[in-house]
Structure 1
Amino acid sequence: MRWFLTKGRRLNRVYVAFMLVSFMMGIAGALQAPTLSLFLSREVGARPVWVGLFYTVNAIAGIGVSLWLARRSDRQGDRRKLIMFCCLMAIGNALLFAFNRHYLTLITCGVLLASIANTAMPQVFALAREYADRSAREVVMFSSVMRAQLSLAWVIGPPLAFTLALNYGFTTMFLIAAGIFAVSLTLIAFSLPSVERLEQPADMAITEVSGWKDKNVRLLFIASTLMWTCNTMYIIDMPLWISSELGLPDTLAGLLMGTAAGLEIPAMLLAGYYVKRFGKRRMMVTAVMSGVLFYLGLNLFHTREALLLLQLFNAVFIGIIAGIGMLWFQDLMPGRAGSATTLFTNSISTGVILAGVIQGGLAESFGHHTVYWAIAALSVVTLGMTMRVKDV
């Protein structure tokens, strides 16, 4: 990994700092997200409909706030200072959830703080892209390794979150998350660089900043949204489907998620290594094809061994689109790394909103098996749209 070394063959401390920040912030996020519905239900006493409303409001607010901050970050100011501000909001959000159990406070103040806090990670990736470009380093492999840190965080985070929440209480869990964000803030302040950027004209239209006028950006955003809709529908429905319709052990759901997250890491690293040879478009098309095979396989094979084997296709699908997808947005929107990265993360948020509505409606009206045929059909549509986006 030559890009990890300076010209004198010494370890590049800036790159190590980027890795540590992405891993630690990933861990902090992975402590909070998996247990949120359990927290709202048990600690706050929210009914299922209010739990669902919280997720919807949180996702919609996150899209609006992150787009606004991304637009400002690409025009002016020090991106590192914005990341520090977002990290400070993340600390405040974790402390609020640690000591507050009032639903209206959490869905207003909590959602606002979370929306700002969640902008930190795409801004870290945008800063990393700008730093790599300025220092003439390998961008794709560096970004892939950073994405792998998030996958590793999600292998470790969810089991740790449930252990802390169930054995020591949610207050302890959120306080630990706040502490990790505080350490991340210190690393950002003293280890990450400030990168000088070209200012965008103040009167530039939002459609120009976001790249929405570009047909390829629009196609990629819609395709990426559908990719994450498929993935989120699977994550929401799979634990229920396994226990209620397949009659398999509840613990299998956690094993499948952990297996997929673990396999995503080599998938991301291999994608970063081979992307120069095959190109981003071909790699993304391969990923979506793997997703189609995965979702079709879920409809056809229902044994424990088959479901575990299918996770290989799931890992290739998610591992590639999580890393290469973001870089494809950035390449289609040169000079607007913040907006491009945020557009990618907002495709994930939009996918979450769509997935909750579609999965809930289908499972309620037609049963869980219908969800997987719908996911398979969506993945085929996604494949067609991805093939129409130009390579860069």
Structure 2
Amino acid sequence: MSISLAVAVLLLGVADSMVGSYFVLFVTDVAGLSAWQTGLFVSVHGAGGIMLAWLAGRSFDRRPSRGYAAAAMLSGGVALCLMTVIRSYPLLLLLAVTLLGALAAAFPQLFSLARHVLGGGPAAAWSVPLLRSVWSLAWAAGPLLGTAVLTTAGLAAILRSAAGVLVVAALWVLVAVPRPGPPRPHDPLADDPGPRLPRAGAVLLTASITLFFTAMFAGSVAMPLFVTRELGQDDSAVGVLFSVCAAVEVVAALLLAAVPSHVSQRLVILTGMGCFVFFFALTVTARGMALLIAGQVVRGIAIAVVGAAGIRWFQDAMAPATGMATTLFSNATTAGMVVAGIVAGGAVEILGYAGTMVLCGVVAVAAAVAFALGTAARPGRPPPPRARGHRRAARRATRIIR
């Protein structure tokens, strides 16, 4: 694993977690958005991110470059600075779908770079969970940094600080990350081309990832409000909880990298989804920090497992289209954010904070069921290389005879 890529992921994760932990409080307390406006903003941002990340992923497969990741980070940094001064809701929506939306391409681009540089061998199998652990480490440190900035300079300063980190990350990618080589052609004689997604289960599998992250993002919107307004905890408790979750993610992702290759990835992902359901049950029944922290431990395991194993699953299934594979997983994540914005905004007003968390738990159950059904049939493999070669030779001979 390239150390330079790990540093880039770390910087991106720190900026993302600084903003993510306090974003809801910023847009409600500083920007003055209502619950419905916040939900729409998150959804518009997600829709823009899906389109821009898809374009970047497609471009990466055609012409691999570090520039896509750097441009996404710079765009996000500019967007965060502008958000601290813009109060017009239409302008905020425009910002969400353009500059801020472009930031969504940074994460899949970095993981695509890693897969492209390391190829599809054992190093690539280790790189995803290890880079994912670096991302989790950033989410362990970022909220605490955000808390420090909050206590000294306020919510707006968090966005400006994160913007500075993004600029540093973009420059680091351009200077330190190795240039990717030309696109990797698919080798028809590869010994192990990897699993292939069954056509019948592809939709269910993608829907499962979308549902999982719908529950995650909607829960992330409702949880800070549930903790501070219903349970009466201080705002700083939110940063502590997110940091606990991220710290557990680091350990869980590292342990995932050590899981033997013969262990079923399907079972691993289903276990992670089951942990996520348990997290919502713990949080809803909590009345103090003890159960809330226990819930974050379980949440960290779930996010690390589904996040790392899911990326690897998609990359193996769509090889050699690394950019599109990673982007498809990332866009399923972003689609969950789009749906979550609508779900959370309306659910908080209709069901309340605890009711919204219960609803998120139900969505998490649906995600696990969809994944189980979509992967019930084992992923198939292409025919052996020699057989494929014989068939191609036969087709060529047939054309000659004709």
Query: Is the pair's TM-score, using the shorter chain for normalization, greater than 0.5?
Result: yes
Pairing of 1:147-296 with structure 2 (within 5 A) = 147-165=132-150, 167-168=152-153, 172-193=157-178, 194-198=180-184, 214-246=199-231, 252-274=237-259, 276-296=261-281
Task: Assess, with a 3 A threshold, how the Cα gap between structure 1 residues 257 and 122 changes in structure 2: closer, same or farther.
Answer: same
Query: What SS is found at the alignment partner of 2:261?
Result: helix
Partner of 1:73: 60
Task: Using the aligned pairs only, state the percent identity.
Answer: 24
> Number of matched residues?
367
Letter in 2 for 1:280: Q
- The answer to which of 281-290 and 179-188 deviates more is 179-188
Q: How far apart are the structure 1 equivalents of 2:28 and 2:225?
A: 17
Partner of 2:399: none
Residue 252 of structure 1 and its aligned partner are, at CA, apart by 4.3
The answer (yes or no) to whether the contact 1:32–1:177 under 8 Å persists in 2 is yes
The answer (yes or no) to whether the contact 1:223–1:385 under 8 Å persists in 2 is yes
Q: How far apart are the structure 1 equivalents of 2:358 and 2:30?
A: 36
Residue 162 of structure 1 and its aligned partner are, at CA, apart by 4.3
**Is the counterpart of residue 55 in structure 1 residue 36 in structure 2?**
no
Unaligned runs of 5+ in 1: 5-14, 201-210
Residue 127 of structure 1 and its aligned partner are, at CA, apart by 1.1
The answer (yes or no) to whether the contact 1:88–1:182 under 8 Å persists in 2 is yes
Residue 338 of structure 1 and its aligned partner are, at CA, apart by 1.2
Partner of 1:130: 116
Q: How far apart are the structure 1 equivalents of 2:289 and 2:12?
A: 33
Pairing of 1:340-379 with structure 2 (within 5 A) = 340-379=325-364
- The answer to which of 357-366 and 123-132 deviates more is 357-366
Q: How far apart are the structure 2 equivalents of 1:122 and 1:159?
A: 25
Q: How far apart are the structure 2 equivalents of 1:101 and 1:212?
A: 45
Task: Assess, with a 3 A threshold, how the Cα gap between structure 1 residues 137 and 65 changes in structure 2: closer, same or farther.
Answer: same
Task: Assess, with a 3 A threshold, how the Cα gap between structure 1 residues 356 and 337 changes in structure 2: closer, same or farther.
Answer: same
Partner of 1:113: 99
Greater relative CO (CA pairs within 8 A, separation 6+): 2
Letter in 2 for 1:268: A
Residue 124 of structure 1 and its aligned partner are, at CA, apart by 0.8
Letter in 1 for 2:110: V
Q: How far apart are the structure 2 equivalents of 1:112 and 1:387?
A: 36
Q: How far apart are the structure 2 equivalents of 1:356 and 1:275?
A: 38
Residue 317 of structure 1 and its aligned partner are, at CA, apart by 0.8
Q: What is the TM-score of this pair, normalised by structure 2?
A: 0.80
List, as ranges, runs of 4+ consecutive aligned residues in structure 1 with deviation greater than 6 Å: none
The answer (yes or no) to whether the contact 1:281–1:391 under 8 Å persists in 2 is no
Task: Assess, with a 3 A threshold, how the Cα gap between structure 1 residues 166 and 52 changes in structure 2: closer, same or farther.
Answer: farther
Q: How far apart are the structure 2 equivalents of 1:113 and 1:212?
A: 33
Unaligned runs of 5+ in 2: 187-195, 380-402
Q: How far apart are the structure 1 equivalents of 2:345 and 2:87?
A: 26
Partner of 2:90: 104
Q: How far apart are the structure 2 equivalents of 1:50 and 1:17?
A: 39
Residue 102 of structure 1 and its aligned partner are, at CA, apart by 4.4
Partner of 2:366: 381
Q: What is the TM-score of this pair, normalised by structure 1?
A: 0.82
What does the per-residue CA deviation read over 1:153-209, in whole Å, with 9 as the maximum and x for residues that have no partner?
122222323433553356654444343233222322232221321479xxxxxxxxx
Task: Assess, with a 3 A threshold, how the Cα gap between structure 1 residues 340 and 217 changes in structure 2: closer, same or farther.
Answer: farther
Residue 122 of structure 1 and its aligned partner are, at CA, apart by 0.6
Q: How far apart are the structure 1 equivalents of 2:361 and 2:85?
A: 42
What does the per-residue CA deviation read over 1:215-236, in whole Å, with 9 as the maximum and x for residues that have no partner?
3332221111111122223222
Partner of 2:384: none
**Is the counterpart of residue 313 in structure 1 residue 298 in structure 2?**
yes
Letter in 2 for 1:36: F
**Larger CA Rg, structure 1 vs 2:** 2
Partner of 1:207: none
Partner of 1:24: 11
Task: Assess, with a 3 A threshold, how the Cα gap between structure 1 residues 222 and 30 changes in structure 2: closer, same or farther.
Answer: same
The answer (yes or no) to whether the contact 1:140–1:275 under 8 Å persists in 2 is no
Task: Assess, with a 3 A threshold, how the Cα gap between structure 1 residues 96 and 145 changes in structure 2: closer, same or farther.
Answer: same
Residue 246 of structure 1 and its aligned partner are, at CA, apart by 4.8
Task: Assess, with a 3 A threshold, how the Cα gap between structure 1 residues 42 and 375 changes in structure 2: closer, same or farther.
Answer: closer
**Is the counterpart of residue 83 in structure 1 residue 65 in structure 2?**
no
Query: What SS is found at the alignment partner of 1:118?
Result: helix
What does the per-residue CA deviation read over 1:289-335, in whole Å, with 9 as the maximum and x for residues that have no partner?
22233333445564543333333322211110111111111112111
